A and B are shown apart, each in its own frame.
Chain A
C-alpha cells in the first residue's frame, strides 16, 4: 500500500499561511513519492524505502517552513529582486552610472538581507541617534532659531533697566525714559510702552478672566502688523475722554466670538466697563503669546508721579531699531542717556542703566536658552557615539567580508567600486534608519510638547516642518556616509589571494584596523562619560531642589485670582476690603475648608503683583545720605499666614482690628529685620516705604522666609507684608486650605460662594499650590529627565561598542584561548584576560571623558542649583556606572572565552 505522502509532509512542515500552501505540500509529497519509488526499484524493502524517503525531509521543521515562506514572499527580497531582475541583460559599461547605482543598491539590499543582525543594529542605532536629534533640533529651531513672525523681526528690541549692584536685570522702565528714547530718531523707528493687566470679559457667556496689554500709540507700528479686520489703535484712542476700544487677538476672536465676521463694532464689558471692539490681529501675531486683547494706554489719566518720577519703573517697553542701527550703537546711546539721568537724579537713579535686549532673548529666558543648547549638544554627542558605533560595526563587518571582497577583487572589481559598494550599503541603511528616525522624532516631539514647562515660548510652533525634515535627512546621510567611509576605505585594502585562500576573518585584521576600532570604542566611552557626569550633576541638583523647604505648606491649598471691576459697588477702599472680608468669611463656613485668606503675590512661583520697594527705618536719612533696604511689598488678609502655614517668629499676625483707621502696621521677613535692625529687636520699631506710600508703619511681627519666585529661586527677596484693610487692592489671589483631601474639590464651593456675592465675577487661574510649586521647577525637571535619557542612551551605545569589540576579539582568539586552556590556564585566568582588555580600553575612555567633563563643567554651572559642577559624588557615580557597564559588556564574551574547548587549538580552520 502506498504511504500517505501528503500526511507525512504535513507533519514535517509547520502551517505556512501561504496562498499556495496546498500546492507546495503536493509538490513535496510528489518528491517523497519519487524517492520512495526509486528506492523500491533499487531493491530496498518497503520499510527501508519509507525511512529513506522520509529522511529527505529535514529534522528542523520550523526552519523548512521559514525557508519556504521567505522564498515565496519577503518584501526586501521582492524589492531586491525587482531591482536586479533585468540587470544581467545590461552591458557592464562605465557610461551607465544609473545602472551601476541600481546594481549597487540591489547588491546592498541583498547583502543586508543576508546579515539581518547587522542591519537591525545599525538601523536601530541610527534611528535612536537621529530621532533624538530631530526632536531636539525641532525644539531649538522653534524656540531659538526660527525668525519671529513679524516683518524685520531682528530689529525688534526690548529696552530694559538694570542695576548691577542689586543684581537686577531686565527690569521695567519709567515713563520719562520712554519720552527720552523717542527723541533718538536716528536710533529707533518707534518706541512703545506697554503694561500687562488682567480683567474679566463679560457679556459673551461665562465671565472670563483675560490677560490684556495696555499699549502706547506706537505699539502696533513697532510690531508692524496689519489687522485682518477693522483697525489697530489710533492716536485719538489714547486721549483721556476718548471712548474705550479693544483690539482682539485672533485666538480670542475664534474662541469667544466664534470668528464672527461682524465682531468689529460690537460692544463688550471688560473690567466692568463697556469697550468697543475696533479690530482683530492676524493668527500667531499676538505678542506676548499669552495676551488675549489690547487696550489703549491713557497716560494723561496716570498720576503725575507715575509719569514724572524717574524711579517709577512700572512700564515695559518695546522698540524697533532703525534700518542700519545696531544693538551696539543702541546700547551706547542708552548708556549715555542713563549716565546723564544718574547725574541729574542721584537719589533715585544711582547705579541704574539701560540697555536693549533682542526680542527673542527677552522672551526666552537665559536658563532655557542655555538648557536647550546643552541638550542639543548632548543629543549631538549621542549621535557621534552612534556614528562611532556604526563605524565600528562596519569595520567588524568589513573584516568578516574579507573573503567576499577578495573574490570580487579577483573577479576584476576595482577598489573604488568596492568602496562605493560599501558606502551605498551605508546609504541604504541611512535611508531606512533615517525614516525610522523621523517616525521616532515625530513621536518624541509630541512628548517634548506634552511635557514642556508651561509658558514655554513658541512651543505651539514645534513640529516636523521642512526645515526639520531637511536637517534630519542631512544628518542621516552625513552620519552614515561618515561612518561607512572609514570601514569602506580600510576593509577594501584587501590582497585577494590570502583572503580567498585563507577565508578566515582574521586575514585582514591589520594593526591599523585594530587601533582604529579601539580608538572608536574609547571615544564612545569618553562621550558617554561626559553625558553621564552632566546627568548626574543635574540629578543631584534636582534632588536638592525637590527637598528645599518652600517656607509654606503647599499641601491642600487651592488658589484662584479675583479682580474687582471698576463699578459703583466697589467704589472706595472700604467697599473693596469689605467684599474680601465677606468672601473669606463665607469660604471659612464651607464644610471641608480649614482656613482661607488672600494675597497680592502667591509663593513658590504663583506670581501676582510684585512691587519692589525701598524702605527706611524711622530716623534714617534719605538716600543718597544713607542706605535703604529693598523688599517686596505684599498685601495680605489677616488669615494669610495661618492658611499658608508660614511660621510667625516673633510678634503677632494681622487681625481684623488692623483696619483702615487704626495704627498703620507691617510684618517683615527675618532677612528684612536683620538687614534693617541687625541684632536689635524689630518689634515696635517703625519704617516707611519712603518713595511710595511714605507712611511710617509699626512692625508688629516677624515671619520666616518664603520662596516666592519658585522652589529653585536663587535669590531670596526680603518681604514686607501689610494688611489689606490698610492698603486695599481690588485684585487679590484667594488661598483656601482644605481640611483633608484634594484641594481641587473645593473649587465648585468657592465659585458658588463668589457667585452668591457677585455673579459677574470670574475666578481665574484656579490651581493647587502644590501644582504651582511643581510647575516652578518643571523646566529643571524637564531638562534633567531629557539629559538622563540621553546619558543612558549613550551608556547603552557605549556598552554595545565594548561588547562588540571584546566579543569579536574573543572569537578571533579562539585558537589561542583554546591553546592556553589546553596548556592549563584556569577559567579564572581566561576571564581576567578578556576583562583586562575590556577594562583597559574603558579606563582610557574614562580618563578622557572625565577630562572632558571637567572642561565642560562650567557650562552646566548656570543650570545647577546648590551643586558644584565638580561635585565628587556625581563623578564617583559616573565612574562606577561606566565600570559596571563595561564589566557587564565583557561578561558574556569572557564566559565564552573560559569555555573554549581545548580541542579548538588542535583544529585547523
Chain B
C-alpha cells in the first residue's frame, strides 16, 4: 500500500542518521543495526540503501571514508557531519509532532 511505503521512505533517512549518531558505521552495519533494532520489521536492500547513503552524503549530512584494516578488505564507513546532526535533530522534532498528531487524530497509540 502506498502510504506505508511513503512513510517508510520518509523515515529511512532519520533512521540511518540515528544509526550512525554515536559511531561511524559501514553500509552493511547500518542495515543490520536497523534490522535488529526494528525487530526485523524494517529491512534495507542494497537497491535502496546505497542510493540513499550517496544522496545524504551529497547533501553533506554524512561523510563516507575508506578505512583499511590489515588482513581485511577496505570498507567505506559513514559518520555524521555537523549538518547531519542538525538535520537529525530537526527530523526528530518533526516526527515527534507527526506521531503525536497521529495519536490524537487517528488514535494510534505508540506507548502502550
Contact = CB atoms under 8 A, between A and B. Distances in A.
A796 interface: no
B90 to A, nearest CB: 4
B51 interface: yes
A497 B106 contact: yes
Contacts of B97: 411-412
B46 A64 contact: yes
A68 B54 contact: yes
Interface in B37-88: 45-48, 50-52, 54-55, 58-60, 66, 73-76, 83, 86-87
Contacts of B83: 85-86
A501 B46 CA distance: 31
B27 A56 contact: no
B86 A72 contact: no
A410 B86 contact: no
B45 A410 contact: no
B111 interface: no
B33 interface: no
A23 B76 contact: yes
Contacts of B74: 26, 30
Given A33-B73, A85-B59, A28 B106 contact: no
Contact of A403 (B3, B101, B102): B3
A837 interface: no
A34 B55 contact: no
A71 B106 contact: no
Contacts of A72: 54, 58
B105 A500 contact: yes
Query: Looking at A38, A84, A89, which has the most chain B CB atoms within 10 Å of its CB?
Result: A89
A68 B59 CA distance: 15
A148 B26 CA distance: 72
A58 B47 contact: yes
Given A72-B58, A410-B98, A31 B51 contact: no
B28 A30 contact: yes
Nearest to A412: B97
Interface string A27-41: 110111111001000
B28 A24 contact: no
A410 B99 CA distance: 10
B53 to A, nearest CB: 8
Given A30-B28, A88-B86, A24 B105 contact: no
A496 interface: yes
Contacts of B51: 64, 67-68, 70-71
Contacts of B3: 403, 503
B94 A411 contact: yes
Contacts of B58: 71-72, 77-78, 81
A514 interface: no
Interface string A55-94: 0111000011001101110000110010011101100000
Contacts of B75: 30
B45 A58 contact: yes
A86 B59 CA distance: 10
Interface in A460-501: 496-497, 500-501
Q: Per DSSP, are chain B's interface residues mostly helix, strand or loop, or mixed?
A: helix
Q: Per DSSP, are chain A's interface residues mostly helix, strand or loop, or mixed?
A: helix
B28 A89 contact: no
Contacts of A411: 94, 97-98, 101
Nearest to A404: B6
Contact of A407 (B28, B52, B98): B98
Contact of B86 (A56, A67, A71, A89): A89
B104 to A, nearest CB: 9
A31 B105 contact: no
B26 to A, nearest CB: 7
Contacts of A88: 86-87, 89-91
A395 B46 CA distance: 37
A76 B80 CA distance: 24
Nearest to B108: A501
B44 to A, nearest CB: 9
A477 to B, nearest CB: 30
A72 B75 CA distance: 19
Interface string A14-55: 000000000110111011111100100000000000000000
B65 to A, nearest CB: 11
A26 B68 CA distance: 13
B106 A501 contact: yes
Given A86-B83, A403-B3, A27 B59 contact: no
B24 to A, nearest CB: 15
A57 B50 contact: no
B27 A71 contact: no
Given A30-B73, A501-B106, A68 B50 contact: yes
A411 B74 CA distance: 44
A35 B60 contact: no
Nearest to B98: A411
Contacts of A68: 50-51, 54
A413 to B, nearest CB: 11
Interface in A403-425: 403, 407, 410-412
B33 to A, nearest CB: 13
A30 B46 CA distance: 11
Given A71-B52, A85-B83, A403-B3, A57 B90 contact: no
Contacts of A403: 3
Nearest to A89: B86
B46 A56 contact: yes
A85 B59 CA distance: 7
Contacts of B26: 30
Contacts of B90: 88
A500 B106 contact: yes
A81 B46 CA distance: 23
A81 B59 contact: yes
Nearest to A908: B1
A652 B68 CA distance: 109
Contacts of A78: 58
Nearest to B44: A56
Contacts of B86: 88-89
B43 to A, nearest CB: 10
A35 B28 contact: yes
Nearest to A501: B106
A27 B76 contact: yes
B96 to A, nearest CB: 10
A23 B57 CA distance: 14
Contact of B45 (A56, A70, A81): A56
B28 A85 contact: no
A34 B102 CA distance: 38
A57 B44 CA distance: 11
Nearest to B74: A26
A508 B98 CA distance: 21
A38 B103 CA distance: 39
A883 to B, nearest CB: 37
B10 to A, nearest CB: 10
Interchain residue pairs A-B with the least CB separation, the first 7:
A88-B90, A71-B51, A67-B51, A34-B28, A71-B54, A58-B47, A410-B101
10 contacts: A30-B75, A31-B28, A58-B45, A58-B46, A68-B54, A71-B52, A71-B58, A72-B54, A84-B59, A89-B86
Interface of B: 2-3, 26-28, 31-32, 45-48, 50-52, 54-55, 58-60, 66, 73-76, 83, 86-87, 89-91, 94, 97-98, 101-102, 105-106
Given A31-B27, A56-B45, A411-B98, 7 more contacts: A23-B66, A30-B28, A30-B73, A77-B58, A85-B60, A501-B105, A501-B106
Interface of A: 23-24, 26-28, 30-35, 38, 56-58, 63-64, 67-68, 70-72, 77-78, 81, 84-86, 88-89, 403, 407, 410-412, 496-497, 500-501, 503
